[in-house]
Chain A
Amino acid sequence: MKRLLPLIIFILLALLLGFGLKNADQKSLIPSPLIDKPAPEFNLPLVGKPDEFVSKADLLGTSYLLNVWASWCVACRQEHAFINEISRSGLIPVYGLNLKDETADATGWLRQFGNPYAINMADRDGRVSIDFGVYGAPETFIIDAQGRVRYKHVGVVDQHILEQEIKPIVATLNAEQANAK
């Protein structure tokens, strides 16, 4: 029995670690405190057009996908194909929030990889991103016609995320919209 003790301790430990792992799984889906709450107010210039401003109020009335990106973010390159695809498919309007970037870098990057953003706002000092609770690029939000945050994804958007998460949310939003009319 005495010799079994280390093994027993280890088995308990392994169970505990297994439990921790199960939770770590959920940890990566960091719930945003903003879900189902009104999105933060913003009024930002467009990338490359510093005199044109877009505010939250301007965007009310349709739901849209807001993609936080930057030219310095390597992971953004990885997901960019999917962002382009979403934009092309017309699934939902895609807007960009360009985080802490230089205008020249940002426009050059879009020229190289394609520009999916119907509206592309420049968050030079990262203030608005902080309000949104962004802690790194890329992050993706879906905001409904009433200006509420309905979905948040931290990290790269891939096929799985697109099919399993973004599309169902968009479907729900469309249904809500239809009901409202």
Chain B
Amino acid sequence: MNAELGQLALILGLLLAFAQFVFPIIGAWRGNSTFMAMGRSAAYGQFVFVSFAFVILTYAFIAQDFSVSYVAYNSNSQLPMLYRFSAVWGAHEGSLLLWVFILNIWTVTVTAVSSRKGSVLPPEFSARVTAVLGLISFGFMLFVIFTSNPFDRFLPSPLEGADLNPLLQDPGLIIHPPMLYMGYVGFAVAFAFAIAALLGGRIDREWVRWTRPWTLLAWSFLTFGIALGSWWAYYELGWGGWWFWDPVENASFMPWLAGTALLHAQSVTEKRGAFIGWTLLLSISAFSLSLLGTFLVRSGVITSVHAFASDPTRGVFILAYLGVVIGGSLALYAFRAPKMITGGGFAWFSRESLILINNLLLTVAVGMVLLGTLYPIIADAFGMGKISVGPPYFGSLFIMLMAPLMMIIPLGAYSRWKQDQIGRVASQLILPLVISAVVAALAAWMLSTGNLRTLTGVFAGCWLITGSLSYAIQRIRRQKRNSLPRSEFAMILAHMGVGVFVIGVSMVETTSTEKHIPMGPGDTFTVAAYEFEFKGTEHVEGPNFSAERGTFMVSKNGKHVTALFPEKRRYRKGQVMTEAALDPGFTRDLYVSLGDPLDNINQRWAVRIYEKPFIRWIWLGTLMMTFGGLIAMSDRRYRMTARAKEKTRLMAEKTSASEVTA
């Protein structure tokens, strides 16, 4: 009975999504405020029904209702309670429901914020935003109901379910998908603001101010979500990698790159009124790439997904949906985007020109990742056989594109809008440049390496950190106050995060030690000055698996460091999982995983031992970027009400007038 209620709630949600599209769009067109208000009510109503459906599915997992097909396939009676929650989005149908649910969270938040008292948004504008979000939701719910219904029954009901994919039975996977979806579904808001602006024809600095905090919030979630996914892959997949350029990862990375470009384009539009075309196009692109990613992951086009999972009808549906949403919005852009370059011009060296380079590099990077991801289809289309490009393509091209970007980031913070002298900016950055060179030289000496990639990476990372820091110090001195405006602080933090990230990546990629060796009880092996002693394995029973657990005693120069317990687990359905054991540290991780048993008599195992220097910096850096985004979003200027806004507008007009005369 419950599943039918969930189904009913979804259908009602679908109808309300349609109402949420139709009424406000007509209302905004005819200036009918009743119709516009109906859009808001429909949005709230839809949220209630979708949440209800989501709760029902969650309940079906908790109560182990195997008569629901989705539950039967992705759960079983031994599944620990915690994973019954995450199993809700453990496979296709449920993760789409999560997608719709999160879109609804964004929609009601935006609707509530933009219709509250004192909001600066014109009612027609927010009605159009609501309508666009309604249309997006409508299409997705159609998709869920007709091709991927999570409430389908499985009758007669099986006594026992299959199991949740053991890879997903991990705490990291409980929060990774919701965070990631909050990110790329969140770009729907920036998208809706762009479409509403194109429909209404009003695109100015004010508009950017409305959309920017939402973009920042979505971007922060996405950054955090991607970092979580990478962290999970690192400790769960058992081979110590942190990024694989796999289509699923690329699907989330492309919107991130476009979103990053968008944030920077927005800052130009907000401050100078220029780059409006870029801002609009990137707003559309960031979300379009999210949808494209969904298509790639769900349709079975790229990965030769297992026969049960891939479903061409789903692919056709999403492709049609992409055609309507992306094709429609790009057509709208082509015909409605402002024809003239508004806002002031800028000199060849200025903050605008540096951000333009940033936008170009990031856009090319999106194109490169897209090309690499789609390469198998392209090759197939032109009869070149079935090939896919691997990490070598992505890795080398991406570094080449990002290296110039790393170099100009500190310049960007220092440079002035409109016009600046490269000599003036460079002279301020001599100290960071010298410090970075010294650190790189020190690294070369301490690691006794001449590896160009390591040293360039360390240099670039230091350059980003010290360059941003010196800007912060200078800025504080100049204004004779011990604080920075939030948006400045956010920028500095995020740019330093990039530096920390770059150091982490270049150290891990070039100076890791990885050993694959057979070991029996009592054997010792030394990796990067750490001595690993294998004590042997014992059999342990988990809630829904049994495992062999190895014990490794780790010491350095005769002193005990830690004990590590990697596991080889066998789950109910027979899947074998490697649970690596690791000892995290600020400057290095130690990582041990059990491969396969080599022979039963001597209990020898194929063992992998890794030493990964500075790998934590990768996630530390991404966390800094995440917080940067959140802090920037909380800047005062985005929270102003109508009256305060009027005051600043007048002031801004005065200053821009004086700029023109100057």
Contacts and interface: CB of A to CB of B under 8 A. Distances in A.
Same complex? yes
Interface of A: 3-4, 6-7, 10-11, 13-14, 16-21, 23-25, 27-28, 30, 72-75, 77-78, 100, 136, 154-156
Interface stretch (B184-192, B310-318, B483-491): B310-318
A7 B380 contact: no
B377 A19 contact: yes
B333 A7 contact: yes
A21 B316 contact: yes
B307 A74 contact: no
Given A4-B334, A154-B307, A72 B573 contact: yes
B63 to A, nearest CB: 19
Interface in B308-328: 308, 310, 312, 315-316, 319, 322-323, 326-327
B381 interface: yes
Contacts of A72: 162, 572-574
A21 B319 contact: yes
B158 interface: yes
B322 A14 contact: yes
Interface string B271-296: 00000010001001100100010010
A74 B310 contact: no
A75 B299 CA distance: 20
B73 interface: yes
Interface extent on B, as a size class? Answer: 35 or more
A17 B330 contact: no
B319 A14 contact: yes
The interface centre, meaning the residue of B310, B327, B330, B374 with most chain A CB atoms within 10 A of its CB, is B330
Nearest to A25: B312
B44 to A, nearest CB: 33
Nearest to A14: B323
A7 B315 contact: no
B158 A77 contact: yes
Contacts of B319: 14, 17-18, 21
Nearest to B315: A21
Contact of A19 (B302, B316, B322, B381): B381
B433 interface: no
B331 interface: yes
A157 to B, nearest CB: 12
A136 B304 CA distance: 14
Given A7-B330, A74-B73, A77-B158, A17 B307 contact: no
A16 B323 contact: no
Contacts of B301: 17, 20-21, 24
A24 B315 contact: yes
A173 B431 CA distance: 83
A20 B307 contact: no
Contacts of A78: 154
B153 to A, nearest CB: 12
Contact of A10 (B308, B330, B574): B330
A156 B306 CA distance: 12
B177 interface: no
Contacts of A24: 299-301, 310, 312, 315
Interface in B245-285: 277, 281, 284-285
B574 A11 contact: no
A77 B161 CA distance: 11
The residue among A11, A19, A27, A77 with the most chain B CB atoms within 10 A of its own CB is: A27
